[in-house]
Amino acid sequence: MTTVGMLGLGRMGSSMVRALAASGHDLVLWNRTTAVAEQLAKEVGGRVVVRPADVAAAADIAISMLADGRAVAAVYGGPDGLIAGARPGTVLVDCSTVPPAVIQGHEAAIRATGAGVLDAPVSGSVALAERGALTLMVGGTDTDLALARPALEALGSTIFHLGPLGTGAAMKLAVNTVIFGLNEAIAEALVLAEAAGIDRAAAYDVLAASAVGAPFVGYKRAAFLEPETTPVAFALDLAAKDLRLIADLGADVGVPLPQARTNLQVIELASAAGGGARDFSAVAEHLRGGRSEEEDATA
């Protein structure tokens, strides 16, 4: 069985570790806040190391799942970084949602060590990650994907190889334009139905059973209907980060993306009004508040 390293043990990274542990992989764990790694190792096993370089030295496949491009730069670079510990035979796989340029910028340094590299961002949130049921969008070479495949298959059986390094990251941003569109559309439809006198849960069930009943609509049910008691799966601030990346990629490749730009405005307003650590389904609460204010203004 391959030894798999995991760097970044936030909501997604820790859930992915559970799936890797369930599939019997030996684990090496690193997180910026070491206590998080130690707690997770107590629950699922695995060896905790103190530097990203130690992960690359010990693991066949080193998977990073980090907040943003700055975090990837901090973890990959420097004397203690992942690249410093990389060796021939290791494959470094970045699953973070970041612009294509982030992993492309590290490619030459990684290849110089003899290690392989892939970008493999994921679609699906915490619940799917824990079950090993994510969809992975991979950029990189066939050879590196063949080496990493046993570990990636523990994370999800739907693996798309889209082309050279960076294409996985670009595809992830394209998928997220739809996710944020759906999130905003559900919020608007729900608030509209409620305001027109329809029970919130009944309205949600109709959406889920209708032609728009995508898997996302199904698994966000609790977040939209019981926001106070449902754990955060994807924070508003991370959604804003992704929408800025989407807008930037659109600008780079000359595509205007009016829907994504509108979503960014709504997510930023929701974040400013109630805190960016809430789940991004909180745009519905924001729209309810907005409606009342508008009503007040016109009353």
Ligand X SMILES: NC(=O)c1ccc[n+]([C@@H]2O[C@H](COP(=O)([O-])OP(=O)(O)OC[C@H]3O[C@@H](n4cnc5c(N)ncnc54)[C@H](OP(=O)(O)O)[C@@H]3O)[C@@H](O)[C@H]2O)c1
Name the residue nearer to ligand X (CB basis): 190 or 233.
233
Q: Which residues pair with 160 in a beta bridge?
A: 137
Helix 258-274 and helix 236-253, axial crossing angle in degrees, nearest 10: 150
Name the residue nearer to ligand X (CB basis): 97 or 167.
97
Q: Which of 8, 132, 140, 168 is in the footprint of ligand X by CB under 6 A?
A: 8
Residue nearest to ligand X (CB): 10
Smallest separation (angstroms) from ligand X to the CB of 106: 15
76: nearest Cα among 43, 122, 109, 115: 109
Per CB under 6 A, 94 contacts ligand X: no
Name the residue nearer to ligand X (CB basis): 242 or 285.
242
Name the residue nearer to ligand X (CB basis): 115 or 122.
122
Q: Which of 70, 87, 111, 261 is in the footprint of ligand X by CB under 6 A?
A: 70
Q: Of the listed pieces 19-27, 70-78, 153-161, 188-196, which binds ligand X according to CB under 6 A?
A: 70-78
Residues 157-216 touching ligand X, rule: CB under 6 A, are none
Query: DSSP secondary-structure letter at 225?
Result: H
Smallest separation (angstroms) from ligand X to the CB of 126: 6
- Binding residue count for ligand X, defined by CB under 6 A: 26
Collapsing DSSP to helix, strand or coil, 264 comes out as helix
Per CB under 6 A, 18 contacts ligand X: no
Q: What are 248's two structure tokens? A: 């930037």
Residue with tokens 């970008």: 119
Q: Which of 74, 182, 214, 222 is in the footprint of ligand X by CB under 6 A?
A: 74
Handedness of CA 107, 94, 98, 135 (dihedral sign): positive
Contact assessment for residue 95 and residue 85, using Cβ atoms and an 8 Å cutoff: no
Distances (CA, A) of 14 to 100, 153, 226: 24, 17, 24
What's the CA gap between 299 and 277, in Å, rounded?
Answer: 33
Name the residue nearer to ligand X (CB basis): 35 or 299.
35
What's the CA gap between 139 and 215, in Å, rounded?
Answer: 25
Per CB under 6 A, 31 contacts ligand X: yes
Q: What are 160's two structure tokens? A: 């798309």
Contact positions vs ligand X (CB under 6 A):
8-13, 31-33, 36, 65-67, 70-71, 74-75, 96-97, 122, 125-126, 233-234, 238, 242
